Structure 1
Amino acid sequence: MSIVQASWQNKPLQPPVHSLPAPLMVNLTSFPKRFSSLHLTIKSLLLQDVRPDRVNLWLYQEDIKDLPENVRQLEGEGLTIVPVAKDSRSYKKLIPALTAFPDAFHVTADDDIYYRPDWLSTMVAGFSGDYREILCWRAHYLATRPDGQPKPYRKWYPKTEVRGPDPRLFFTSGAGVLFPPGSLPSTATDLSLALRLAPYADDLWWYTMARLNQSRITRVGNNPALINWPDSKAGSLWQFNKQAEHGNDSQLAALITHFRINL
């Protein structure tokens, strides 16, 4: 029996409501290659020890017909499946949510991770009342050259212990990031620009948006290892984005040039 299956059998009838001053939404997206284990991730999100207002699964509308029944059944347990007209890869996770619910607190999740029961409450507890402070479970630390320009992504400091707030904390959205309303600029929802500058690196887009907005970045929690489902790396961009020519480095350079920012 898996961790999630055991927890689901002991699910509390009504976990406490969060303490934030506006709606709290957990957002994720997926695609057919990941559907076989998607229900496990969603169950772990529904088993959090505080209750969000919504758990949104944003899916390209043509993929919804391929959802297995074990995912559809979770609509009765608190999941909302939302169709998206354009398949914008990982950008489906957050841009539609920010557009539809601009005044909510938005938390990001990936479709291939088991989320511990205190994952959401830890981020909620970290909110200090500063709407321009972004809270993350996991971050890398951006390394720079003597001239202040970023070093290649592969030379950044992975899974840093730095808590911040620190502008060089590069949050990874799949591990969990809480964005208060107003923590990102209006440009953040410009999908066409995001796809032009960073088509395969939405985390770089969100990080750049946070820096443009001069938002603080703080890491919360005790930095536990991520628990991924077996064989969940199908279609992953992780290896692609480590490439020097077309990966994170070239996309970050495009963002820096376009927005004329100094990281």
Structure 2
Amino acid sequence: MEINIRQWIVSVMILGALLIGGCAQQEATSQPPNLPTEPPVTAQAPDAFSNLPRLEGKAKVRMVIKGKPVIIEVDGTNAPITAGNFVDLVQRQVYDGSLFHRVVRTPQPFVAQGGDPQSKNPKADPQTFGTGGFIDPATGQERSIPLEITPEGAQSPVYGSPLQVARINQPPVLKHKRGAVAMARSQAPDSASSQFYFALSDLEFLDGNYAVFGQVLEGMDVVDGIQQRDRIDSAEVIEGLENLRSNNPSNGPS
């Protein structure tokens, strides 16, 4: 589906309010950082990320939303850290009971975003939804993962920079096709934690800027029907859990 210029501009404006400001409150209230003119391009995950879960291969997750299943294929081949983080959080039951705090369908279908652990708390202020992430019980700190995008033809991902900023001309392997699953983040590239979104239509203008890590295989009708404040009943790994690698000993429900 082609996006006309007016719709594209509106979508970019929505993106600024929806994703860039949606993951960390401190980023949402601060001025955008200056982007480096020649940021480093990292071919392999730096040692700083060695403590993060990784998925070596693929997995499938069954997410139940309002009693209806959605099957997601998670791609650790092209997004090992991003996919590993998601599978690890599913295993920890982080998403069970959380809600979709932003759903945007006008002026065109855009995204359904959820995964803020704060939204599981019935006493939490709804105005804070979209500012939280996963607090790792092993560290007491919010886990952040790097922006991870594999360009077509590359043997490993680029970390820490959108492809355009990193001066990578190839499109990403994992694109924002309808049904894509990707990580939301603040303006800082390496700020994704637990919040994710479903692409409700083809969103080419996000390619190379946000990390896609999966695709809806079954239940896209369920995704299309998500309304704001709908909850995730449960999420479980139904295939490929043996591909998860984690150096964190506290790999369990939290």
Report which structure shows greater RCO (CA 8 Å, sep ≥6). Answer: 2
Rg: which structure is higher?
A: 1
Of Structure 1 and Structure 2, the greater strand share is in 2
Q: What TM-score do the two structures reach when normalised by structure 2?
A: 0.29
